[in-house]
Amino acid sequence: MPLPSFLRSFLAWILCVRRPLPTWSEPERLEYQRRHLKHNVFVNVAEGAFWWVGMGFAPAATVMPLFISKLTPSAWPVGLLGALANSGWLLPQLFTSNFVERLAQKKPIVVYLGALTERVPVIFFPLAALLAPRHPQWALALFLTAYAWHKLGSGLIATAWQDMLANCFPLNVRSWLLAGMVVIGAGIALACAEPCARLLETLVFPYNFVVCFAVCAFGVLMSGAILIFTREPVDPVLKPRQSHREFARELPQHLRTDRSLRNALAARVLATCGLMSVAFLTVSAVQRWDLPDRSAAMFTGWMMAGQMLGNLACATISSRWGHKLTLGLGWLLSAVAFILAAMAPAPTWIYPVFLLVGMTSGFDFISAMLLVMELAQPERRATYTGLVNTSVGVVGLFSPLVGSVLVAWSPSALMSLSAGFYLLAALTLWRGVDEPRRRLERQAFRAPGAAAEQEDGAEGEPVEREREHE
């Protein structure tokens, strides 16, 4: 069904798709990228730091589930929160890939459309907390609606954001860039963990959550304002215009012909099934040992510390050995974390659980995204990331809802099941995915031989030249 003409005009205006852009060659793009690299690193690290500071005061794994548990005794809203946290950012990506790949610049989508779809909804988080004492059901509905708007809105611009990063930063900088974003933001949030715990303990409900959500909203809105200053080059590698039907028809072909893509998708799906327990870690611990509300902030501190360690370790290891290794290591850490959670005889065991979950999050944030981007040709980055992330998002939508049923039966069994899924994910990744950088090295090694063969065969049968990886 076509969009109304006024809506098409509005989207064309806000996304700047009718603005004339110069036609650049690849050397011109690389020169612009090199010239503005320091500026873009500073801007995007600052943007990411503010984002993670905001999210550090209201993580979906600790503070948000605790807030929901104050509004209702039911487990399904916590499961719904976990489903949105796991899949909201992932689900819409495939549906925007075809459009994104035809744009020479992705910044207008990320900045201007993202302001409406991703940044504005967080304003309603503290408003929902203010509603909680008199109208808990309305507060719950408003909070979950705003969170769904925020997460799905993030997914609408996600392929454009990932492609913008790939366009602005060379391959060897991307891991350190993403690590810098999280380390600075998580470091500040870690320093604020004790003040946040004091807020949750000393302020009466709901004002303790109002303050936490207000800081979250401030960080997210500031990160959007800073992103405006990114200097993105014009991308010369664009995909020809293609109908949505033709685009959809090609998707199964990508999975059939690319073994690494197929197995990377299977591994990500298994790891997403393992995430079904994350949303229940805080609530289960608080209810099992009758912990005070400040424990949610302390769990957040341990998780942020793990995220910092995970990002630094991931950037160090992946820059030398690639993202396949780091992604698998992160999943093994989560398997250990959930085994500890299943066996925990005392609440002190939960702190290392959140440390390991945070480390996995750090590995996952960098390597899950960049591995798929490296598997793809430049003009197909958005298609590959959209295909994998949307497929994973579908699974992530339902796995926490299954978890909400299993946790009522046995929290320990749920944690053990998550550990099993993470072990299977790591095995599938290591056995079925070729490291993209090794593949590029093999192609570069074969290229001179292919050229010599071409010269030798000039007088006889023409020799088909191997396609060069762009």
Taking Cα atoms as reference points, which of 398, 298, 341, 334 lies closest to residue 63? 298
Q: What is the largest CA-CA distance in the chain?
A: 87
CA distances from 135 to 65, 129, 149, 215 (A): 18, 10, 21, 23
Residues 326 and 366: beta-carbon distance below 8 Å? yes
Taking Cα atoms as reference points, which of 428, 358, 379, 310 lies closest to residue 97? 379
pLDDT tens track for 209-259: 999 999 999 999 999 999 999 999 887 765 666 677 777 778 888 888 888
Quote the CA–CA distance of 94 and 99 in Å, as a whole number.
Answer: 10
Say how many C-beta atoms besides its own lie within 10 A of residue 289's C-beta. Answer: 13
- Spell out, as residue ranges, where the chain has pLDDT lower than 50: 1, 444-445, 447-470
pLDDT value for 271: 93
**Residue carrying the six token digits 């730091």:** 49
pLDDT value for 254: 83
Residues 236 and 25: beta-carbon distance below 8 Å? yes
Query: What are the chain's domains?
Result: 33-232+243-434 (1.20.1250.20)
Q: Which tokens sit at 53?
A: 């500071």
pLDDT value for 18: 57
Task: List CB contacts of 35: < 8 A, sequence separation 6 or more.
Answer: none
pLDDT value for 15: 59
pLDDT value for 242: 66
What kind and span of H or E run contains 92?
A: none
